[in-house]
């Protein structure tokens, strides 16, 4: 069965600093991987996804993620964080039938 | 387009009461999903539907029932609510096929006393 681990429960970063969120997955086949963001009190919004091809994926809001098969990782990065990036981030993996398996999420706090 | 909407936004129930959560989408998506979100556990799939009139169990289906009588609506029912069902419930919809984006509603916060 597939699984996702997000090792960092909380991350605090200063505004303007870089951000990297870690995501490790376990899946038998080539995975479909996603990053979603959840702002406080809101639903989830897709940032980016990987399904094939180039392992460096560009998303919305200046985010990018790199798929590394050898490390079973799909880490999310942003070079300069804005206060509006304070949110919770999830990196689900897709199993057959469009079903997503989520990790526990990483909450990002942005210091002024 | 409203996208995915959920009704109600917040509800308090007593143990043993029943209720139905309504999800509606206006994107003509075939697939719809119900998740619950609990602290530290991310989202877990309760039930899903791959088309009108069809439903299937997800990861945590016990205590819930669903129906998809119309393509645009997906209902989640709690027949006899328990405190363990206190959670935030999210509905989502997508097109069929691999790596399709799921579009999420704003959530329903449920408290069972």
- Separation CA A27–CA B56 (nearest Å): 22
Q: Is the pLDDT of residue B28 over 90?
A: yes
- Separation CA A88–CA A104 (nearest Å): 10
Average pLDDT, chain B: 95
* B41 at A interface, C-beta within 8 A: yes
Long-range contact set of residues B2-5: C-beta below 8 Å, sequence gap at least 24: B2/B26, B3/B27, B3/B103, B3/B105, B4/A43, B4/B91, B4/B92, B4/B93, B4/B103, B4/B104, B4/B105, B5/B105, B5/B106
CA angle (A80 as vertex; A11, B101 as ends), nearest 5: 75
Burial class (CB in 10 A: 0-12, 13-18, 19+), A98: buried
Q: Over range B32-56, report the average pLDDT.
A: 94
- Separation CA B76–CA B65 (nearest Å): 6
- Separation CA A94–CA A74 (nearest Å): 13
* B9 at A interface, C-beta within 8 A: no
Q: How many angstroms separate the first and last alpha carbons of chain B?
A: 36
Q: Which of A44, A40, A41, A59 is nearest to A90 (CA)?
A: A44
| CATH number of the domain enclosing A31 | 2.60.40.10
The range of the structural domain enclosing residue B43 comes to 4-95+103-112
Closest residue in chain A to residue B39, using alpha carbons only: A104
- Shortest CB distance from A32 goes to which of B4, B43, B98? B98
Q: Which residues of B touch A44 (CB under 8 A)?
A: 43, 90, 92, 102, 104
Give A7-53 pLDDT, tens digit per residue: 999 999 999 999 999 999 998 777 899 999 999 888 999 999 998 88
| Residue the block writes with tokens 């979603």 | A36
Chain A contacts to B (CB-CB under 8 A): 4, 9, 32, 34, 36, 41-46, 49, 51, 90, 92, 94, 97-105
Residue of B102, B105, B109 to mutate, testing the A interface (most A Cβ within 10 Å of its Cβ): B102
| CATH number of the domain enclosing B42 | 2.60.40.10
Can you give the pLDDT at residue B98?
83
- Count of domains forming chain A: 1
Can you give the pLDDT at residue B1?
73
- Count of domains forming chain B: 1
Q: In what order do the strands lie in the sheet with B73-78?
A: B4-7, B19-25, B73-78, B65-67
Give B67-82 pLDDT, tens digit per residue: 999 999 999 999 999 9
Q: What is the dihedral of CA A96, A28, A59, A98, to 10 degrees?
A: 10
Q: Do B43 and A46 touch (CB under 8 A)?
A: no
Other Cβ atoms less than 10 A from the Cβ of A18: the count is 11
Can you give the pLDDT at residue B40?
84
Q: Which residues of B touch A97 (CB under 8 A)?
A: 48, 50
* B2 at A interface, C-beta within 8 A: no
């Amino acid at each position: 069965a597939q699984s996702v681990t997000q090792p960092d429960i909380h991350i605090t970063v200063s505004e303007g600093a870089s951000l990297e969120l870690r995501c490790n997955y376990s899946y038998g086949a080539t995975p479909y991987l996603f990053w979603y963001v959840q702002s406080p009190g809101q639903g989830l919004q897709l940032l980016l996804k990987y399904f094939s091809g180039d392992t460096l994926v560009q998303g919305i809001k200046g985010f990018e993620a790199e798929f590394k098969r050898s490390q079973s990782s799909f880490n999310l990065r942003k070079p300069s964080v804005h206060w509006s990036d304070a949110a919770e981030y999830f990196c689900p993996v897709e199993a057959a039938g469009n079903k997503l398996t989520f990790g526990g999420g990483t909450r990002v706090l942005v210091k002024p | 387009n409203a996208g995915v909407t959920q009704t109600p936004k917040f509800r308090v129930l007593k143990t043993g009461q029943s209720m139905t959560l309504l999800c509606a989408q206006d994107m003509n998506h075939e697939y719809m999903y119900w998740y619950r979100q609990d602290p530290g556990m991310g989202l877990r799939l309760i039930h899903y539907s791959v088309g009108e009139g069809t439903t299937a169990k997800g990861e945590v289906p016990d205590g819930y029932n669903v129906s998809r009588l119309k393509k645009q609506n997906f209902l989640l029912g709690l027949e006899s609510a328990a405190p363990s069902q206190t959670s935030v419930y999210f509905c989502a919809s997508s097109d069929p096929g691999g790596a399709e984006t799921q579009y999420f509603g704003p959530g329903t916060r449920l408290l069972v006393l």
